[in-house]
Chain A
Amino acid sequence: MSQVGTAAGWEPTIVAFCCNWCSYAGADLAGISRLAYPASLRIIRVPCSGRVNPHFVLRAFQRGADGVLVAGCHPGDCHYTTGNYFTRRRYLLMQRLLEYAGVNPGRFEVKWISGSEGPKFAQAAREITARVRALGPNREMRDEA
């Protein structure tokens, strides 16, 4: 497929894993509220942010994603009581693993976005896109085509 072009030429690809109960609903609300954010962010629905295996994140980087966002319910509000606590702990480890592997940890982020926080979702999407755009295309981990 050809690269999607804008005036700037390159636009990053960002994979967002959103939990079904809070963040996916937050993204829905952003849409319902017609809040614009970069099209480069694409959502994969998971039941809980705790379902996101670090393997999935690494796979996204291998397949050429320039940034990865994991979004879940606020700590204490997890639909499954404790899932996002595991996400929170994995996030710190994940940052260090990426750094160790030579990937800029700025490409990876975890956010707590509730179903009522449409603006926060749109804002998070804008922020990570801007940051990843500044970092440039992911060349650290992507598989050679």
Chain B
Amino acid sequence: MRRIGVFVCWCGANIGGKVNVPAVVEAARTFPNVVYAEDNKYTCSEPGQAAIRSKVTELKLDRVVVASCSPRMHELTFQKTVETVGVNPFLFEMANIREHCSWCTPDKAAATEKAIALVRTAVAKAVMNDPLQPFPIPVTPRALVIGGGIAGIQAALDVADTGIETVLVERDPSIGGVMAQLDKTFPTLDCSACILTPKMVDLARHPKVRLMSYAEVEEVKGFIGNFQVKVRRKARYVDLKNCKGCGDCAAVCPVKVPSEYEAGLGPRTAIYRPFPQAVPGAFTIDKAERPPCVRTCPAGVNAQGYVALVSQGKFKEALAVEKRQNPFPSICGRVCNHPCETECNRGQVDVPVSICAIKRFIADTVYADGSEEPVLPASAKDERVAVVGSGPAGLACAHSLALEGYPVTVFEALPKPGGMLRYGIPEYRLPKAVLDREIDQVRQLGVEIQTNAALGKDFSLTDLKARGYAAVFIATGAHKGQSMGVPGEDATGCVDGITFLRDVGLGKPMDLDGRVVVVGGGNTAVDAARSALRLGARDVIILYRRTRAEMPANSWEVDEAVHEGVKLHLLAAPVAVTVRNGRVAGLKCIRMELGEPDASGRRRPVPIAGSEFDLPAEYVVTAVSQSPDTGFADGVLELRRGGIIAANPVTLQTSVPGVFAGGDAVKGPATVVEAIADGNRAANAIGLYLRAEAPEASAAALADQPQTGKPFTIPKDVAKVPRAVMPTLELSRRRRNFTEVELGLDAEAAMAEAARCLNCGICCECRECERACEPKCIDHSMQDETETIEVGSIIVATGFKPMDPVAYGEYGYRRYPDVITSLEFERMCGASGPTSGQILRPSTGKPPHTVLFIQCVGSRDEGKRGHQYCSKTCCMYTAKHAELVMDRVPGATTYVCYMDVRTPGKGYEEFYRRTSEEYGARYIRGRVAKVQPNGDGLRVRVEDTLAGRPLDVQVDLVVLATAMEPQADSMDLARVLKVGYDADGFFTEAHPKLRPVETNTGGIFLAGTCQGPKDIPETVAQASAAAVKAVALLSKDKLLASPIVSYVNETLCAGDFFCQPICPYGAIEEKELAERIAGRPVTRKVASVNTGLCQGCGACTVACRSGAINLKGYTNEQLLAEVDAVCLK
């Protein structure tokens, strides 16, 4: 039995005028558990409260119900009243018989009846109420400020000045925000930098401030007073402490990208400082994800690096970059199949950069002038390594190992080193002198090359071990030509392509008189055909069973072959070689058609029955396939199908420890650059093996590094430039000789071609900065780091971004160079800006005579392109811009097209008056319909809505006052912080009038334009306000949290955690419960509420199937009691 007192309020005539109050009191007396009821004129007044207090004491009431106004009005008042006389505030209940009854019910009888029902309901709930205690939570006395614009700087300084530690996280390399980009500030025309930069320095020097620049908040856990914030500190690649800010690095950087600080009007280097007064003053290297050229190259050669250096004329340095991964640039510059060019992003603009030709240019040029800086090998080591095979894989491996200091011997079966480079690729593509030069460079590193020494014939693997080689790399290639498998192949005049090219390479005298038919569509076939032509063949035909599109040969080689006179005979296959007197007389062929795609994705050729035909020929070269000749394996080395050597794909180790294999011998026929990649990889693996490091560690060290970094987007305004054309030998001079066909680019063409590179990786990793930096504070291997910081309060000051006006096509932004945005104009006015403060037309570089400003671009526009809101600052800065034009360009005329001029602010209206009246800026009320080029300038069509007529204005420069928008990722941050945001993406305050700097999440405050458009004075005021709120919170030792939180009945909890995903605060945790059931110890998991996180919404209670989780103050029992009472009739 409870002892409840009911106090019914007249609220003067507010309630008493519609509700029969004495009747309500009378009814209340009849409700169960009610021991007392009375009415008062004004219960909230002191006499009313005194009546409650005295009756509680006198009658020992344990619960109180007041029937009066809305609990949103006076619940707190009465809770405090009952608390003074020893009643727990949560045992108080309120019936809202004013707002919900007397004020909305005209009929007196109905109002009285409803009031009685509402009191009955309140009493029913009060019966079920339990006393609740707010609980204390500790406070971490540290603040976090997110964003280092003027709002963040001000808030951080204000908090830190009270002696509370403050962490400021800024995602850009420097603090300063948009204000640092401004030239002057309205209405005083103060220099923005002059008032901002001292504050930036104060912040950096403040003993209580920790500045984390180039860092981003990734995760926020915890609750008011106790947040754990995970911050990612992005790799700067420059040691923040030791960088002196001298700028020597930027002076040598070959990469130029648009400067964000200059709003794209000027360039910056990849290693950069946004502006000279940046805080911190250290440089930062901007790296995007690995560019497609580097990513695609099997050997990972840094193409962007050497291309960038060539664009700067740094050929010697470019060669050094090339040689980091590829010892044979001069060879690869001629024969590489350059998959890098296929993937080159420039291909999406016009045509890919001619990377391979640039590569060749570098090597040829630097070798010719002898300026290459020699790379010295590391100190000599003892373990000797044998390399079997002197093709690109073997030589690349030998080269790398020699650089590491290992003594290397290369064994070559043929008379000269080079493998397929010498015996597979004809001299008109790769002159032997070029080949010999780069092989000699390998020799000069101390590598010994023994020729005419074949594995399996002249020595065995066991011999190598006996001779003291600690490791072996087998790179014997794929030198066995496959036969076609048709009758007559053994006739004189029929030879496989590999043998044919080898004989050509060996210089065997050959005189081909008559017709040569080459069977096959790969590079071997094309090389054989073009060689045959040079050896005097009257007529050369390539016979291929599919179409030209399916030919695996490099397309440009096929083009050259056709150009030289080779005929393609497509969709035909040989059936037999026609033999006459033991000699080839021709080929019997059959026509093919393309059927279903096969495993390689190409359509399978199917013979057409009855379509056989004869092709007379004197010679047949079969270039259908080639395979490794691995007879030497002899059961010692494990082989796979087709005779290739089995090797671990990452470490390249074979079934025999210490014996590694790579190149075509492992892959089957592939490309030169893939072979070089294997050689490099093998050298690394062998180094690790010889240093006896754990194989797992080796695998990790050798595996491809994961792709990281921000994605690159192709700039929208790249001008199309034709690709450099490779000069070639005249057709007439190609017959009967093997003179090189491609002649190479000259320096001018190569530099122009290199300048076409888009610098997709931003930093090209040429490492010129590393060499230039005297304090040695550049480290290209730096990694992002994450750190968790503990704070009690968070101030969000992430600012805004100016809208991109490209959606307003009628204004012609990006189409006409003389249409710019207000921020671009601002940079143009900056004394240190791209034009040194001169206002110039981008198209001519001359001052404009007439400038037209278009306001509300993207603001106050309900269409899809813009925003409904007013950006608040544009009227004023446009007035400022108009004054700047008229100050700096004598005699200039300015027009401002506006919808309304809004000047609410101290001194603002006066400023606007001065602009329009004293300066004489011409204000036209109306939205601009179109901006069009006209003669030397632009014609702007606008309707003058005051005069009611259309106007055409001829101007030199148009400036768009673009809307302020939330940061593109503001909603992501809102989710991390669990704060609300509005339809536009601005963060929402707890109350638009009374709690403008708080959010609905306790302990998180807002400052500046992340909450909505505002100017600098307002931003600073809000920042200081947020700082005070944060300090008020952080200066407490403990906080009292609302006791209206969920709780779990552990006996009922089934541990299915349906409540967990529903909780928006992550407040439901798992808890292990140890029990004894039938004497046996059992553990089970139950839900447990983290009361610091729980905000009391009660969503979890509905999800719980067993009814185990309940919400204090609004329990299932309380609400059901209310339902029962309210329905009672």
Whether B1114 contacts A51 by the Cβ 8 Å rule is: yes
> B419-456 interface mask toward A, CB cutoff 8 Å, 1 = contact, 0 = none?
00000000000000000000000000000000000000
Known contacts A1-B1128, A39-B114; A46 and B1120 CB within 8 A of each other: no
- The yes or no answer to A13 lying at the interface (CB within 8 A) is yes
- The yes or no answer to B1064 lying at the interface (CB within 8 A) is yes
- The yes or no answer to B934 lying at the interface (CB within 8 A) is no
Question: For the side of the interface on A, what is the size category?
Answer: 35 or more
Task: Tell me the complex Cα distance, A24–B73, Å.
Answer: 12
Question: For the side of the interface on B, what is the size category?
Answer: 35 or more
- The yes or no answer to A37 lying at the interface (CB within 8 A) is yes
Min CB gap B98→A, angstroms: 7
Contacts of B851 in A (CB 8 A): none
- The yes or no answer to A92 lying at the interface (CB within 8 A) is no
- The yes or no answer to A8 lying at the interface (CB within 8 A) is no
Whether A28 contacts B1129 by the Cβ 8 Å rule is: no
Whether B1120 contacts A56 by the Cβ 8 Å rule is: yes
Contacts of A32 in B (CB 8 A): 99, 103
Known contacts A15-B1127, A42-B117, A60-B1127; A31 and B1098 CB within 8 A of each other: no
Task: Tell me the complex Cα distance, A95–B304, Å.
Answer: 63
Whether B121 contacts A44 by the Cβ 8 Å rule is: yes
When A and B form their complex, what is the total count of cross-chain residue pairs whose Cβ atoms lie within 8 Å?
137
Whether A42 contacts B114 by the Cβ 8 Å rule is: yes
Min CB gap A23→B, angstroms: 12
Contacts of B1044 in A (CB 8 A): 47
Task: Tell me the complex Cα distance, A44–B1114, Å.
Answer: 11
Min CB gap A4→B, angstroms: 5
Known contacts A55-B1116, A80-B1097; A28 and B100 CB within 8 A of each other: yes
- The yes or no answer to B161 lying at the interface (CB within 8 A) is no
Whether B72 contacts A28 by the Cβ 8 Å rule is: yes
Task: Tell me the complex Cα distance, A53–B117, Å.
Answer: 22
Contacts of B1114 in A (CB 8 A): 46-47, 51
Most buried by A among B104, B118, B1044, B1064: B104
Partner of B1119 from the list A2, A34, A44 (CB cut-off 8 Å) is A44
**One of B105-113, B611-619, B892-900 contacting the partner:** B105-113
Whether A35 contacts B1119 by the Cβ 8 Å rule is: no
Task: Tell me the complex Cα distance, A34–B1000, Å.
Answer: 30
Known contacts A28-B70, A56-B1120, A56-B1123; A81 and B1064 CB within 8 A of each other: yes
- The yes or no answer to B1111 lying at the interface (CB within 8 A) is yes
- The yes or no answer to B13 lying at the interface (CB within 8 A) is no
Partner of B72 from the list A25, A50, A65, A82 (CB cut-off 8 Å) is A25
Contacts of A83 in B (CB 8 A): 1064, 1097, 1099
- The yes or no answer to A90 lying at the interface (CB within 8 A) is yes
Whether A39 contacts B1097 by the Cβ 8 Å rule is: no
Min CB gap A43→B, angstroms: 5
- The yes or no answer to A122 lying at the interface (CB within 8 A) is yes
Q: Of residues 65 to 89 in A, which have CB atoms within 8 Å of B's CB atoms?
A: 65, 76-77, 79-83, 86
Of all chain B residues, which has the CB nearest A77?
Answer: B980
Most buried by B among A28, A35, A39, A83: A39
Whether B1064 contacts A82 by the Cβ 8 Å rule is: yes
Contacts of A65 in B (CB 8 A): 1123, 1126-1127
Of all chain A residues, which has the CB nearest B983?
Answer: A76
Specify the main secondary structure of chain B where it touches its partner. Answer: helix
> B1088-1129 interface mask toward A, CB cutoff 8 Å, 1 = contact, 0 = none?
000000011111011000000001001010011011101111
Contacts of B1128 in A (CB 8 A): 1, 63
Most buried by A among B98, B113, B1111: B113
Task: Tell me the complex Cα distance, A30–B99, Å.
Answer: 7
Partner of B1097 from the list A2, A24, A47 (CB cut-off 8 Å) is A47
Of all chain B residues, which has the CB nearest A27?
Answer: B100
Task: Tell me the complex Cα distance, A81–B72, Å.
Answer: 21
Task: Tell me the complex Cα distance, A77–B105, Å.
Answer: 30
Known contacts A44-B1126, A45-B71, A63-B1127; A4 and B110 CB within 8 A of each other: yes
Whether B1120 contacts A59 by the Cβ 8 Å rule is: yes
> A101-118 interface mask toward B, CB cutoff 8 Å, 1 = contact, 0 = none?
000000000000000000
Min CB gap A134→B, angstroms: 19
Partner of A42 from the list B70, B118, B983, B1119 (CB cut-off 8 Å) is B118
- The yes or no answer to B1062 lying at the interface (CB within 8 A) is yes
Contacts of B1116 in A (CB 8 A): 53, 55
- The yes or no answer to A48 lying at the interface (CB within 8 A) is yes
Task: Tell me the complex Cα distance, A32–B101, Å.
Answer: 11
Whether A15 contacts B1064 by the Cβ 8 Å rule is: no
Whether A31 contacts B1099 by the Cβ 8 Å rule is: no
Task: Tell me the complex Cα distance, A79–B1065, Å.
Answer: 12
Task: Tell me the complex Cα distance, A4–B1128, Å.
Answer: 11
Q: Of residues 146 to 201 in B, which have CB atoms within 8 Å of A's CB atoms?
A: none
Known contacts A31-B98, A39-B111, A86-B1062; A47 and B1098 CB within 8 A of each other: yes
> B1035-1077 interface mask toward A, CB cutoff 8 Å, 1 = contact, 0 = none?
0000000001000000000000000001010000000000000
- The yes or no answer to B978 lying at the interface (CB within 8 A) is yes
Whether A39 contacts B1122 by the Cβ 8 Å rule is: no
Min CB gap A82→B, angstroms: 5
Known contacts A47-B1096, A86-B1102; A34 and B121 CB within 8 A of each other: no
- The yes or no answer to B96 lying at the interface (CB within 8 A) is yes
Of all chain B residues, which has the CB nearest A54?
Answer: B1102
- The yes or no answer to A98 lying at the interface (CB within 8 A) is no
Task: Tell me the complex Cα distance, A79–B994, Å.
Answer: 16
Of all chain A residues, which has the CB nearest B1129?
Answer: A1
Q: Of residues 238 to 288 in B, which have CB atoms within 8 Å of A's CB atoms?
A: none
Task: Tell me the complex Cα distance, A67–B1128, Å.
Answer: 14
Contacts of A90 in B (CB 8 A): 1102
Task: Tell me the complex Cα distance, A24–B99, Å.
Answer: 10
Task: Tell me the complex Cα distance, A4–B114, Å.
Answer: 9
- The yes or no answer to A135 lying at the interface (CB within 8 A) is no
Whether B1127 contacts A51 by the Cβ 8 Å rule is: no
Write the residues of chain A forming the contact surface with B, with a CB cutoff of 8 angstroms. Answer: 1-4, 6, 11, 13, 15, 24-25, 27-28, 30-32, 34-37, 39, 42-48, 50-56, 59-60, 63-65, 76-77, 79-83, 86, 90, 122
21 residue pairs from A and B, CB less than 8 Å apart: A1-B1129, A4-B113, A11-B110, A13-B1126, A13-B1129, A15-B1126, A24-B72, A27-B100, A28-B96, A34-B103, A35-B104, A42-B121, A44-B1119, A47-B1096, A51-B1098, A53-B1116, A55-B1116, A56-B1123, A79-B1097, A80-B1097, A83-B1099
8 further A-B contacts with Cβ under 8 Å, apart from A42-B1126, A90-B1102, are A36-B105, A36-B106, A47-B1114, A51-B1102, A53-B1119, A76-B983, A79-B1097, A80-B1097
9 closest pairs, A vs B, by CB? A31-B99, A51-B1098, A80-B1097, A63-B1127, A39-B110, A31-B103, A50-B1099, A48-B1097, A39-B114
